Structure 1
Amino acid sequence: MSEISAEQVAHLANLARIALTEDEIEHLTTELGQIMQAVEQVNQVATPDVPPTSHPIPMQNVFRDDVVGDTVLTAEQAVSGAPEADGGRFVVSAILGEEQ
């Protein structure tokens, strides 16, 4: 594994348009070096028979049936707490600079 240099950190910061002081470059050089060492350790342990995972335990979405039910909230009740309403509709200011 090759070490990361302060020049490489400064180059990456320049590409990302991030202004760094010399102290920040020195600090990030150390931190990025430690990150690279950790990745190298994982690469040494990873074998072809171990599938890559994003979580240590299996995850899945929990879905429920979309069932239409009775609505007990009227339009007037829905807008009753709004700062401004027009009948059963919310009144909001335009966000695009002109009325739609």
Structure 2
Amino acid sequence: MADVNVDKLVHMPVAIMVGKSREMDHFADQVRRRMIATATPRASSGTYVNSIKVKRARGLSGRGRQITDRIIYASDDASVQIEWGTDGRPPQLIVTRTLQSFRR
């Protein structure tokens, strides 16, 4: 993964995709849309779903070259608890399920 600086509102990076192309923007948006579709039936409110965004960030490749990354994230304060669960709520595994859907 590239080393990037992300503001404090970003609680859960979902995926980092490298490149400057429109195709990478398109793919990042596909991941975001699939994450929203995965979250919609599981989220208790629209706050989490509406917090799912794509952000461009500058980073470094493994060879030290500057690149543009895409980070798909949910900025809802409860993102981590929604993904992994709490003592009173089971994990929703939204990010996990989204990533698994691309592996099929």
Is the pair's TM-score, using the shorter chain for normalization, greater than 0.5? no
TM-score when normalising by structure 2? 0.26
Give the structure with the higher percent strand: 2
The answer to which structure, 1 or 2, has the higher relative contact order (CA under 8 A, 6+ apart) is: 2
Which structure is larger by alpha-carbon Rg, 1 or 2?
A: 1
